[in-house]
Amino acid sequence: MHPHLERVLVTEEEIRNRTAQLGADIARDYADKNPLFIGILKGACMFIADLVRAVEIPLEIDFMAISSYGASSKSSGVVRIMKDLDRPLEGRHVVVVEDIVDTGLTLAYLRDVLVHRRAASVKIAAIFDKPGGRSVDITPDYCGFTVPNEFIVGYGLDHAERYRNLPYVGVLKREVYEH
Ligand code: PRP
């Protein structure tokens, strides 16, 4: 275990097994729909790479990068699109892939944007869900693990851009982020 962690919350094997289940669920739900998977950078890069390999139907992949408008944006929910999709999505069945849903503000905003662009459907796949952090009513359609309201890192989740490459997820020691 990384020395900056207090404990491991979800192991590499648990992530692998759960992702395989989610992939099978999505493949069943989207057979013949040629879904568009949209990974939200940067946190979702690990999960989307693993997830799509478990979805054994034809599909396409694209990415968006979004950024908050400074500190207050977490409460306003306004985000800025830093990198947009390469292709129009009108009429497409979309699966938004996220590492974590916390307040839910990012996804609530993004879902509205995608619906406004006339996607045929928009669903959300998140490997981690932190319902204790929620400030808007949004629930991932495909969820890997429910996590407690603690500072977690790994498998795409960072603190000051570190720890994203840990293959598991753990709780960061308080002294690492409080100094
Ligand atoms: C994280 C995560 C989600 C968002 C969730 O991204 O990847 O996009 O925050 O939080 P919310 O539910 O409170 O809106 P972050 O802005 O940290 O960017 P990153 O993925 O590049 O780390």
50-97, pLDDT tens digit by residue?
Answer: 999 999 999 999 999 998 765 554 556 778 899 999 999 999 999 999
Angle, to 10 degrees, between the axis of helix 45-53 and the axis of helix 12-29? 60
DSSP H/E element including 110:
helix 105-116
Catalytic residue among 29, 102, 129, 137, which?
Answer: 102
Does residue 102 have an active-site annotation? Answer: yes
Angle, CA of 69, 71 and 75, to the nearest 5°: 85
9-39, pLDDT tens digit by residue?
Answer: 999 999 999 999 999 999 999 999 999 999 9
120-165, pLDDT tens digit by residue?
Answer: 999 999 999 999 999 999 999 999 999 999 999 999 999 999 999 9
Cα-to-centroid distance, 32 and ligand 1 (Å): 31
Nearest CA to ligand 1 atom 14: 106
Q: How far apart are CA 50 and CA 32, in angstroms?
A: 21
- Cα 162 to chain centroid, rounded: 17
Check if the beta carbon of residue 15 is closer than 8 Å to that of residue 49: no
CA-43 nearest atom, ligand 1? 20
Q: How far apart are CA 131 and CA 101, in angstroms?
A: 8
Taking residue 130's Cβ as centre, other Cβ atoms within 10 Å add up to: 19
